[in-house]
């Protein structure tokens, strides 16, 4: 009790070391608590955002680069396709022309063939007709001769002439 009275009375004069200790202790506890519950999460979130932004920038750069390569690739592919199609068109045109020429040639040859065959056939027919005419003529001549031989021709000129005319007209008619 005595000391308490002195302490209270001498409060202004005595060094209040416990105030310093209490202040420091409380401050350090506050620091630890805030580090855990306030500043830690806050700074962590800020760092996380920083990393996120850096990441996003990197990603954007990468996708831009990718897009550029893609465009170049596409351009190359397009020009390749164009060349190829041109080549295909050329080759098909050449092929078509060759085919056309071949067909024309074939048609010409066939026509030639047909003409030759037709000529041959005509020749053959003519030959046949000739032969048959000859045979007919011979037959007619023979039959006329036979007729002449059979009929009485002596002295009758008019009768002879009629006979020949008759024969001739018959032969003409037979021809």
Q: Which residue lies nearer to another protein by CB, 41 or 139?
A: 41
SS (H, E, C) the chain: CHHHHHHHHCCCCCCCHHHHHHHHHHHHHHHHHHHHHHHHHHHHHHHHHHHHHHHHHHHHHHHHHHHHHHHHHHHHHHHHHHHHHHHHHHHHHHHHHHHHHHHHHHHHHHHHHHHHHHHHHHHHHHHHHHHHHHHHHHHHHHHHHHHHHHCCCCCCHHHHHHHHHHHHHHHHHHC
Question: Least distance to another protein from the beta carbon of 45, Å?
Answer: 4
Question: Least distance to another protein from the beta carbon of 46, Å?
Answer: 6
Question: Least distance to another protein from the beta carbon of 71, Å?
Answer: 33
- Positions touching another protein (CB under 8 A) are 3-4, 7-8, 10-12, 14-24, 26-27, 29-31, 33-35, 37-43, 45-46, 48-49, 52
Question: Least distance to another protein from the beta carbon of 18, Å?
Answer: 3
Q: Which residue lies nearer to another protein by CB, 42 or 111?
A: 42
Question: Least distance to another protein from the beta carbon of 55, Å?
Answer: 12
Q: Which residue lies nearer to another protein by CB, 31 or 121?
A: 31
Q: Which residue lies nearer to another protein by CB, 49 or 65?
A: 49
Q: Give burial (CB, 10 Å; 0-12/13-18/19+) of 160.
A: middle
Q: Which residue lies nearer to another protein by CB, 47 or 159?
A: 47
């Amino acid at each position: 009790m005595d000391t308490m009275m002195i302490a209270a009375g001498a409060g202004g004069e005595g060094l209040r070391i416990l105030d310093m200790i209490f202040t420091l202790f409380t401050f350090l506890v506050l620091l630890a608590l805030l580090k855990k519950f306030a500043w830690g999460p806050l700074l962590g979130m800020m760092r996380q955002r920083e990393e996120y932004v850096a990441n996003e920038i990197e990603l954007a750069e990468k996708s831009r680069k990718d897009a550029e390569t893609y465009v170049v690739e596409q351009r190359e592919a397009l020009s390749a396709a164009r060349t190829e199609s041109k080549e295909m068109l050329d080759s098909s045109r050449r092929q078509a022309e060759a085919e056309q020429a071949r067909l024309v040639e074939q048609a010409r040859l066939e026509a030639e063939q047909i003409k030759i065959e037709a000529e041959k056939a005509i020749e053959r027919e003519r030959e046949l007709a000739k032969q048959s005419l000859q045979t007919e003529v011979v037959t007619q001549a023979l039959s006329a001769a036979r007729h002449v031989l059979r009929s009485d021709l002596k002295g009758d000129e008019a009768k002879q002439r009629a006979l020949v005319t008759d024969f001739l007209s018959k032969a003409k008619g037979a021809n």
